[in-house]
Chain A
Amino acid sequence: MQRIFNLACGSFYALGAYAGVSAVGWYVGAGGPPALFIVPLVLAGLAVGAVGFVVERGLLRFVYDRDETFQLLMTFAIVLVMEDAIRMTWGTAPRSTAGLYLAYGQIRVLGATAPVYNLIVILASLAIALAIGWLLTRTAFGRIIRATADNRDMAEALGIDMRRVYAKVFTLGTMLGTLGGALVIPATAAMSEMGIELIVEAFAVVVIGGLGSMRGAFVGALAVGILRAIAISVYPELEMLLIYLIVIAVLVVRPRGLFGAAEA
């Protein structure tokens, strides 16, 4: 909506991951029951999303009307600054939530064993996707967002305060990133460069799905995830290559992506 290509989304994800590790660490240290660790995890993920407000008001608003190159440079600078800030705060060693990943046990589905936590994350992702869908299509705020995305000048002419909308939308987006980072952390470990790793994949997702499309992002993410998994099982050498081949194919055949809006 803001027509900003935000490289810093990966950094927000990393920030959420580290905040999640710390919150869970304090929680366990304070004697909280392990089964409820997801509560401090989610709260921490949401809380650090507030950094989005600071970034939007403090930095991004100055580059909205600038060339895209400025926006890329600005958000890349944020990536570098946040990576170092994370390193200064949490150190360089990977951080993890020890064995809490298995706190909810495992289940067997169709002969395969899966940790219940993974199912919780999948359900949480679906719930978030539905909530966003509801927000965009069924609420007044959602209509304003869509109107602004379609035609910023017209929306502004109709009396919508762009500053507030931008700040809210960007903070909300940041919260989704930080929450995602927090939710993923029990299954993995937080590393300061995890943000940059994510950007590359996120880029493939939005190219395949289509820039600026929620549905596209959803389908693109599923496609990238599933294709990578299949590639690893069938022909591991293709794992990364396959994604980029598809990105190239999409760029050549359908540059706006699967669900992207046609150029005006």
Chain B
Amino acid sequence: MTSIPRSRRQFLKLLGAGAGAAAAARLDGPPVSAQATGPVKIGVLTIRAGVAAPVGAAGLRGTEWWAERTNKAGGILGRQIQLVVEEESNPKDTVERYRKLILQDQVEAVLGGISTGVTLALGPVAEDLGTPWLSWDGTTQKGVEETMPNPKWAFKSVDNEVEAIVAGILTPKYFKGIKTVAGIGNDYSYGHDCWESYQAVLKRYIPDVKFVLELFPKLGVTDFTSHIAAIQQSKADLLMCSFWSGDATIIMKQAAAVGLFKTMKGVFTTAGGVHDSLKKEFTPEGLLLGYNTMYFDDPKASPLLKQFVREYKAKYNEYPPYECDHAFFNAESYKVAVEKAAGSSKKWPEKAQVVKALEGLEIESLSGKRSWREDHVQMCNFYQGITTHKNAYDFVTINPIETISTKQAMKPAGTKLFDWIAGWKV
């Protein structure tokens, strides 16, 4: 019987997309109680084209694995999960698809979002539409500063620059006597933010360090020969690189071809995202390599991670990258929050109750314990380490493995990044 007012409300919401004050006031009302029987629809936004498509594929695979496993165990409060997958592309189109998921497909929550360029636009829309949105990898940061400090419905990923900060902390530990550093990253917000954060952190540990070269080729470049020549020319002691897609593999290969890392140390903050393409033939030992929030080969891995890696390998013939963990955490935390909000009543809770239950929630994810900070930012561990060839694979892994928590490496809620770093006691 609720179908008529629901669609009228949806129609009004659609009308109000450009948003007048009257429409906004209407949207402030309590969310309509969810239909509590039948399968529960959950929206998933994922990138399927372009350089980030492998990241999107990993996130979707992690979500699908979670859904299958949860459905086998009886679903959420007895309801089977039905994923409704939409594509993340540019901000404008993705916002439209997000609206479609909520207004037309009537999903209970939306999972996903990778590019901060897109999720920055999704944040306010999520607030407006009043449905929980849990982002895999995208934040609502503009550069390194938060734009939505007190969201109600939006749950965001770890701050973008954390892996560069972790690398900045680990660099002086593993590479003693570094005096000059060259940097290369993609020419968009992530590349620039990582480089600036890395410099700020390294300067705290090595005050007289000099940054002698910075290169920002655009995303999608497949030839770095000239960049590598410039890096060689700079004679820096160390190269910091924040590439995370196929370009990480390419630069590694082209660097090996001219023996770059025979004379230079290397820090690859994010290349663990394409870890199984970093073949031993061209990836040297002794580099600092970041795996973001999940390391597939962790000897201390939980039974859950071991099972996931085994099944992922069997199904896709690949070893899973970190995005699987972001995605699994989003989905599993949503499930736990629904169950927590329902309490002993076992009745499907209102969406507002679910978001309340999510705040501060800690659960067991693939990579171990992960939680939502009170301001809706993911808290977790970051894995980085020194590359080694001593393993059973044809690509490098890391040993020793360093685990650094976001409690140490992510700016606390409400602080400015560079002020916070400047205030560190080192």
Chain A contacts with B in 195-248, Cβ cutoff 8 A: 197, 228-229, 232-233, 236, 239-240
Of the candidate stretches B126-134, B193-201, B273-281, B301-309, the one touching chain A is: B273-281
The answer to whether A32 has its CB under 8 Å from any CB of chain B is no
Chain A contacts with B in 144-197, Cβ cutoff 8 A: 184, 187-189, 191-194, 197
**Contact status of A187 and B257, CB under 8 A, knowing A236-B215, A236-B230:** yes
Instruction: Give Cα A187–Cα B245 distance, bound, in whole angstroms.
Output: 16
The answer to whether B226 has its CB under 8 Å from any CB of chain A is yes
Chain B contacts with A in 352-380, Cβ cutoff 8 A: none
Q: Which residue of A lies closest to B274 (CB)?
A: A94
Q: In the complex, are the beta carbons of A188 and B250 less than 8 A apart?
A: yes
Q: In the complex, are the beta carbons of B256 and A102 less than 8 A apart?
A: yes
CB distance from A191 to the nearest CB of B (A): 5
Chain A contacts with B in 18-57, Cβ cutoff 8 A: none
Chain A contacts with B in 122-157, Cβ cutoff 8 A: none
Cβ 8 A contact of B226, one of A188, A194, A233? A233
CB distance from B199 to the nearest CB of A (A): 16
Q: Which residue of B lies closest to A231 (CB)?
A: B226
Instruction: Give Cα A197–Cα B307 distance, bound, in whole angstroms.
Output: 40
**Contact status of A101 and B253, CB under 8 A, knowing A115-B258, A194-B222, A239-B217:** yes
The answer to whether A87 has its CB under 8 Å from any CB of chain B is yes
Cβ 8 A contact of A240, one of B214, B218, B250, B279? B218
Q: In the complex, are the beta carbons of A92 and B222 less than 8 A apart?
A: no
CB distance from B354 to the nearest CB of A (A): 32
CB distance from A134 to the nearest CB of B (A): 29
Cβ 8 A contact of B281, one of A93, A99, A189, A240? A99
B residues within 8 A CB of A239? 217
Instruction: Give Cα A113–Cα B221 distance, bound, in whole angstroms.
Output: 22
Q: In the complex, are the beta carbons of B51 and A193 less than 8 A apart?
A: yes
Q: In the complex, are the beta carbons of A114 and B258 less than 8 A apart?
A: yes
**Contact status of A188 and B257, CB under 8 A, knowing A232-B215, A236-B215:** no
Q: Which residue of B lies closest to A92 (CB)?
A: B53
The answer to whether A118 has its CB under 8 Å from any CB of chain B is yes
CB distance from A91 to the nearest CB of B (A): 8
Q: In the complex, are the beta carbons of B214 and A236 less than 8 A apart?
A: yes
Instruction: Give Cα A105–Cα B256 distance, bound, in whole angstroms.
Output: 11
Q: In the complex, are the beta carbons of A96 and B249 less than 8 A apart?
A: yes
A residues within 8 A CB of B56? 92
The answer to whether B216 has its CB under 8 Å from any CB of chain A is yes
The answer to whether A98 has its CB under 8 Å from any CB of chain B is yes
Q: In the complex, are the beta carbons of A189 and B282 less than 8 A apart?
A: no
Q: In the complex, are the beta carbons of B49 and A189 less than 8 A apart?
A: no
> In which size bucket is the chain B interface?
35 or more
Q: In the complex, are the beta carbons of B220 and A191 less than 8 A apart?
A: yes
Q: In the complex, are the beta carbons of B253 and A187 less than 8 A apart?
A: yes
Instruction: Give Cα A118–Cα B53 distance, bound, in whole angstroms.
Output: 29
The answer to whether B229 has its CB under 8 Å from any CB of chain A is yes
Instruction: Give Cα A93–Cα B53 distance, bound, in whole angstroms.
Output: 7
The answer to whether B2 has its CB under 8 Å from any CB of chain A is no
Interface 1/0s, chain B 204-225, versus A by CB < 8 A? 0000000001111110111101
Q: In the complex, are the beta carbons of A232 and B229 less than 8 A apart?
A: yes
CB distance from B316 to the nearest CB of A (A): 10
Instruction: Give Cα A184–Cα B222 distance, bound, in whole angstroms.
Output: 10
Q: In the complex, are the beta carbons of B258 and A93 less than 8 A apart?
A: no
Interface 1/0s, chain B 35-67, versus A by CB < 8 A? 000000000000011110110110000000000
Q: Which residue of A lies closest to B222 (CB)?
A: A188
Instruction: Give Cα A193–Cα B89 distance, bound, in whole angstroms.
Output: 14
Q: In the complex, are the beta carbons of A188 and B223 less than 8 A apart?
A: yes
Q: In the complex, are the beta carbons of A189 and B257 less than 8 A apart?
A: no
The answer to whether A110 has its CB under 8 Å from any CB of chain B is no
CB distance from A126 to the nearest CB of B (A): 18
The answer to whether A112 has its CB under 8 Å from any CB of chain B is yes
Q: In the complex, are the beta carbons of A193 and B221 less than 8 A apart?
A: no
A residues within 8 A CB of B343? none
Instruction: Give Cα A92–Cα B279 distance, bound, in whole angstroms.
Output: 19
Interface 1/0s, chain B 239-257, versus A by CB < 8 A? 0000001100110011011
CB distance from B275 to the nearest CB of A (A): 12
Interface centre among B57, B225, B249, B282 (most CB of A within 10 A): B225
Instruction: Give Cα A35–Cα B246 distance, bound, in whole angstroms.
Output: 25
Q: In the complex, are the beta carbons of A197 and B49 less than 8 A apart?
A: no
Q: In the complex, are the beta carbons of A101 and B233 less than 8 A apart?
A: no
Instruction: Give Cα A184–Cα B258 distance, bound, in whole angstroms.
Output: 16
Q: Which residue of A lies closest to B223 (CB)?
A: A188
Cβ 8 A contact of A232, one of B230, B250, B257? B230
Q: In the complex, are the beta carbons of B246 and A236 less than 8 A apart?
A: no
Instruction: Give Cα A189–Cα B258 distance, bound, in whole angstroms.
Output: 17
Cβ 8 A contact of B50, one of A189, A193, A228? A193
Q: In the complex, are the beta carbons of B215 and A189 less than 8 A apart?
A: no
The answer to whether B259 has its CB under 8 Å from any CB of chain A is yes
Q: In the complex, are the beta carbons of B222 and A191 less than 8 A apart?
A: yes
The answer to whether B227 has its CB under 8 Å from any CB of chain A is yes
CB distance from A236 to the nearest CB of B (A): 5
Q: In the complex, are the beta carbons of B226 and A229 less than 8 A apart?
A: yes
Interchain residue pairs with CB less than 8 A apart (14): A94-B54, A99-B280, A106-B257, A106-B258, A112-B229, A189-B250, A189-B253, A194-B220, A194-B222, A232-B227, A232-B229, A232-B230, A236-B227, A240-B218
- Identify 9 new A-B residue pairs, CB closer than 8 A, beyond the known A94-B250, A232-B215: A93-B57, A118-B257, A187-B223, A189-B249, A189-B277, A194-B222, A197-B221, A229-B226, A236-B216
Give 10 nearest A-B pairs by CB, closest first.
A99-B281, A94-B246, A92-B53, A229-B226, A115-B257, A93-B54, A232-B226, A188-B222, A233-B230, A113-B258
